[in-house]
Amino acid sequence: MKVLSILASPKKNGNTAALLNSFLKGAEDEGNVILDEIFLTSKNIHPCTACDYCQKNDIGKCIIKDDMQEIYNQIKEADAIIFATPVYWWNMSSYLKIFIDRLYAVMTDENNPPLKGKKAALLMTYGGELPNSGPEIVERSIRESSDYLGMNVQCVLGICSSKPVSSNKEALSKAYELGKQIRL
């Protein structure tokens, strides 16, 4: 199984990364998993311009020439995609939002979604204790986007990072166990 992780935090070693790393360790410990990781802030990804080139001219190919061209191939090869984002201002990070917008280029046939059958997971960290509508908003957005693309969201984990996630054994354990289940 090939697992593609998308780290959408500006911090490569922050709370969201700690949660993601524990999830990936769980997936890896189950065996026979190939991990492919993308740190979005290190990529040159431009916003979608809504030109519809991908839908009208060269179906499934974005006219914007940036790092998404390589990432589209990684997405096609993956069996599971793991989205990991901090919650900022009641929503996903801007890095993840730009990435999600650019997935429009792979949607060429609503009756035959291009990512049909791929598994997805969402990991979030946030500063405000629950109740907090931010994680709910992010989850709904990812679930609806994934559904539109034909992916099945298998698990969602949101952790309040009022204390560092790297020292939150309960959060790391939850992420690890969910990672072990991504193959199911």
pLDDT beyond 90 at 128: no
Phi and psi, residue 48, nearest 5°: -65, 140
At 6-52, the pLDDT tens digits run 999 999 999 999 999 999 999 999 888 999 999 999 999 999 999 99
**Tokens 């979608």 identify what position?**
48
At 59-82, the pLDDT tens digits run 678 999 999 999 999 999 999 999
pLDDT beyond 90 at 183: no
Separation of alpha carbons 9 and 4, rounded Å: 16
Reported as type and span, the H/E element at residue 94 is helix 94-102
pLDDT tier, 157 (very low <50, low <70, confident <90, very high otherwise) = very high
Q: Quick one: which of 149, 41, 151, 150 has its CA closest to 96? A: 41
- Model-level pTM? 0.95
